[in-house]
């Protein structure tokens, strides 16, 4: 009599005619690092019957003869086996799945498979849901690790920084071609010694976050940045990708602007919350650089230093929601954190910029500033030659620089081949003004001695294509000539 008083969906169905319906056909994890907790995947299970059903058991199949690496959470209860779960008629419940995959003891990703088994009271046949994950072993470095001897990071397994790692003074960290360096949130790679990260075009070195899901491929701010501190010397980065950090590379610190030098060539910096490449009284030589999608300046040099760049492309893909207000390129003799902080004044940076494309969305994308009343000398712009710069007229720059309206380089425009895919090669059908020949390759070395020691082949562009030695295309990419 009391059961008849219950609504139909609350009445227990002793012989359910239908089994569960599922929101997906399988639970698939992207590649995850072994011995570390995975993300949580969700599966919704539906009761299509009019009455209430009882899941006598929801279990990981591997929880029987062997320990399953996966854990379930159903209606607030967690474990590898969950019993007696009620689902009202025409209602649903969430099944949450996470895990810690065991060490695979191999260098390549290993496939892990299990199944979730569902047994409904009153139904003879059970149901199963596959769970699949790829586990990647890695070399883990604990927070506050200090590298006190010359060290090489190998490419056979990813290097995962769980926190900040410091290369000590007079020590060298060498990173092999093809190495993947993953940094947790708020992790930094900083060096008081020498950082040598020299990849190849076929096997670049990648610095990125630890979230391997496709959704996070272009999300900035997932880790800190690479920092070269006072005492660092002889560092070089070649054929590297630095992505999705707070910053890309910071050379020096404003409170102690000791001279620090670094050579960069064929380096891609993208998706940074703040500045892409930032120097304080630094000597930075950059050739074939591509910098895209930063929340502040792409290149900034302050409080002195020597900054030499050639055949660089600074561009925007249109993928990030940044409301950038800083110019793409900014040089100043001072640094001030905010209006309430003291202004730290140094020397006037020495700047060289040749055969580059500086394409932004503002009227002022190449800017310099001197502290009012400071002792610094005026900027020398004589080595800023043969660049494409968007924005208004720049009266201080030599007339070899070509200026274009902001709209010309708008995301989705015709100048770049596929900016949304970070393909900033000039469109072969409409190469635009970048097709105008820049300075000869050898002439750049004549005008800026900082480029002479670079071991890179300057006659190859960012994607290892031959560059016209006499009339090279502006930017990091040589256009495809008909």
Per-residue model confidence as pLDDT tens digits over 78-110: 999 999 999 999 999 999 999 999 999 999 999
* pTM listed for this prediction: 0.91
Do 123 and 189 belong to one domain?
Answer: no
Asked if pLDDT for residue 458 goes beyond 70, the answer is yes
The reply to whether 256 and 322 lie within a common domain is yes
Residue 267: CB atoms within 10 Å: 28
Pair (243, 117) in one structural domain:
no
The rounded distance, in Å, linking the Cα atoms of 347 and 371 is: 10
Average the pLDDT over each of 6-20, 188-202, 211-225 and give the range with the smallest value.
Answer: 6-20
Burial 395-414 (b: 16+ CB within 10 A, else e): eebeeebebbeeeebbeeee
The reported pLDDT for the residue numbered 5 is 59
CA-CA distance, 96 to 42, in Å (whole number)?
5
Going 74 to 97 to 103 to 189, the CA torsion angle's sign is negative
467 inside domain? no
For the cut 50, the answer to whether the pLDDT of residue 57 exceeds it is yes
Question: Quick one: pLDDT band at residue 388, thresholds 50, 70, 90?
Answer: very high
Label residue 251 left, alpha or beta by phi (over 0 means left) and psi (-120 to 50 means alpha): beta
Same structural domain, 145 and 286? yes
- As to burial, measured by CB atoms within 10 angstroms (0-12 exposed, 13-18 middle, 19+ buried), residue 333 is buried
- Mean pLDDT value across residues 25-29: 96
Sort 95 into a burial class: Cβ within 10 Å, 0-12 / 13-18 / 19+.
buried
The mean pLDDT of the chain is 92
Domain count, the chain: 2
Q: Tens of pLDDT along 251-290?
A: 999 988 889 999 999 999 999 999 999 999 999 999 999 9
Task: Return d(Cα 168, Cα 373) in angstroms, integer.
Answer: 39
| 439 strand-pairing partners | none
Tell which of 86, 119, 136 closes a domain: 136
Beta-carbon contacts of 426 under 8 Å, excluding residues fewer than 6 positions away, are 415, 416, 417, 432, 434, 435, 473, 475, 477, 479
Mean pLDDT of 156-185: 97
Least confident of 51-60, 165-174, 191-200, 371-380: 371-380
Least confident of 246-250, 309-313, 351-355, 405-409: 405-409
Evaluate if residue 417 carries a pLDDT over 90.
no
Residue 12 has pLDDT above 90, yes or no: no
β-strand pairing of 416-418 with 384-385: unpaired
Grade residue 481 by pLDDT with cuts at 50, 70 and 90.
low
pLDDT band at 170 (very low <50, low <70, confident <90, very high): very high
Question: Within this chain, do residues 153 and 92 fall inside the same structural domain, yes or no?
Answer: no
| pLDDT at res. 1 | 45
In 3D, which of 54, 94, 96, 102 has the Cα closest to residue 78? 96
The CATH code of the domain that includes 68 is 2.60.40.10
Regarding whether 120 and 59 lie in a shared domain, the answer is yes
Q: Is the pLDDT of residue 436 over 80?
A: no
Residues 384 and 403 in one domain: yes
Domain C-terminal end among 88, 103, 136: 136
Owner of token pair 């949304």:
420
Of 88-92, 132-136, 407-411, the one with minimum mean pLDDT is 407-411
| Angle formed at CA 181 by CA 203 and CA 133, multiple of 5 degrees | 95
Closest C-alpha among 106, 37, 24 to residue 70: 37
The count of residues in the chain is 482
120/267 same-domain check? no
Range of the domain at 186: 139-451
| Count of CB atoms situated within 10 Å of the CB of 131 | 25
Is residue 468, in this structure, part of any structural domain at all? no
342 is a domain residue: yes
Same domain for 33 and 87:
yes
Mean pLDDT of the region 347-353: 96
**Average pLDDT, stretch 374-398?**
88
Q: Which of 6-10, 75-79, 440-444 has the lowest mean pLDDT?
A: 6-10
- Is residue 394, in this structure, part of any structural domain at all? yes
One domain, residues 81 and 24: yes
With a cut of 70, say whether residue 36 has pLDDT above it. yes
Residues with Cβ within 8 Å of residue 100, at least 6 apart in sequence: 35, 36, 37, 38, 69
pLDDT score, position 404: 80
The residue that leads in pLDDT, 460 or 62, is 460
443 and 314 inside one domain: yes
CB 147 within 8 A of CB 167: yes
Q: Which of 15-24, 344-353, 430-439 has the lowest mean pLDDT?
A: 430-439
Lowest mean pLDDT, pick from 95-99, 348-352, 407-411: 407-411
Domain co-membership, 331 together with 247: yes
DSSP, res 447: H
Residue 140 binned pLDDT confidence (cut-offs 50, 70, 90): very high
Q: How many CB atoms lie within 10 A of CB 101?
A: 22
Amino acid 2: pLDDT: 46
């Amino acid at each position: 009599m009391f059961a008849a008083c219950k609504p139909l969906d609350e009445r227990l169905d002793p012989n359910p005619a239908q089994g569960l319906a599922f929101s997906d056909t399988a639970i698939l994890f992207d590649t995850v690092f072994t011995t570390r907790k995975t993300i949580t995947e969700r599966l919704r299970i539906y009761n299509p019957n009019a009455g209430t059903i009882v899941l006598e058991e929801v279990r990981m199949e591997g929880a029987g003869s062997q320990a399953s690496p996966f854990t379930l959470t159903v209606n607030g209860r967690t474990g590898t086996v969950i019993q007696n779960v009620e689902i009202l008629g025409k209602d649903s419940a969430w099944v949450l799945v996470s895990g810690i995959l065991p060490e695979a003891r191999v260098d390549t990703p290993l496939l892990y498979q299990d199944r979730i088994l569902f047994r409904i009271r009153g139904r003879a046949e059970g149901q199963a849901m596959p769970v699949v994950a790829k586990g990647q072993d890695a070399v883990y470095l604990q927070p506050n690790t200090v590298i006190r001897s010359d060290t090489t990071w190998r490419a056979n397994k990813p290097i995962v920084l769980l926190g900040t790692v410091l290369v000590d003074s007079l020590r060298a960290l060498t990173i092999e071609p093809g190495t993947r360096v993953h940094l947790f949130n708020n992790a930094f790679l900083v060096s008081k010694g020498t950082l040598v990260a020299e990849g190849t075009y076929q096997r670049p070195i990648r610095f990125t976050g630890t979230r391997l899901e496709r959704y996070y491929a272009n999300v900035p701010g997932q880790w800190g940045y690479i920092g070269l501190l006072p005492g660092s010397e002889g560092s070089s980065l070649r054929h590297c990708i630095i992505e999705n950090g707070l910053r890309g590379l910071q050379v020096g610190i404003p409170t102690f602007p000791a001279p620090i030098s670094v050579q960069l060539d064929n380096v891609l910096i993208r998706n940074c919350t703040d500045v892409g490449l930032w120097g304080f009284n630094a000597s930075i030589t950059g050739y074939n650089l591509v910098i895209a999608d930063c929340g502040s300046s792409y290149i900034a040099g302050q409080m002195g230093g020597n900054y030499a760049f050639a055949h660089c492309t600074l561009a925007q893909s249109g993928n990030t929601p940044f409301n950038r207000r800083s110019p793409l390129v900014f040089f100043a003799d001072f640094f001030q954190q905010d209006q309430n902080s003291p202004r730290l004044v140094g020397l006037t940076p020495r700047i060289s910029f040749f055969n580059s494309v500086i394409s932004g969305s503002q009227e002022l994308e190449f800017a310099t500033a001197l502290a009012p009343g400071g002792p610094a000398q005026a900027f020398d712009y004589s080595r800023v030659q043969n660049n494409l710069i968007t924005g208004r007229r720049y009266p201080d720059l030599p007339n070899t620089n070509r200026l274009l309206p902001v709209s010309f380089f708008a995301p989705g425009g015709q100048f770049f081949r596929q900016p949304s895919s970070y393909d900033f090669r000039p469109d072969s059908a409409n190469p635009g003004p970048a097709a105008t020949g820049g300075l000869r390759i050898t002439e750049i070395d004549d005008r800026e001695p900082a480029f002479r020691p670079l071991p890179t082949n300057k006659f190859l562009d960012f994607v290892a294509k031959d560059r016209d030695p006499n009339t090279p295309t502006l930017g990091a990419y040589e256009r495809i000539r008909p």
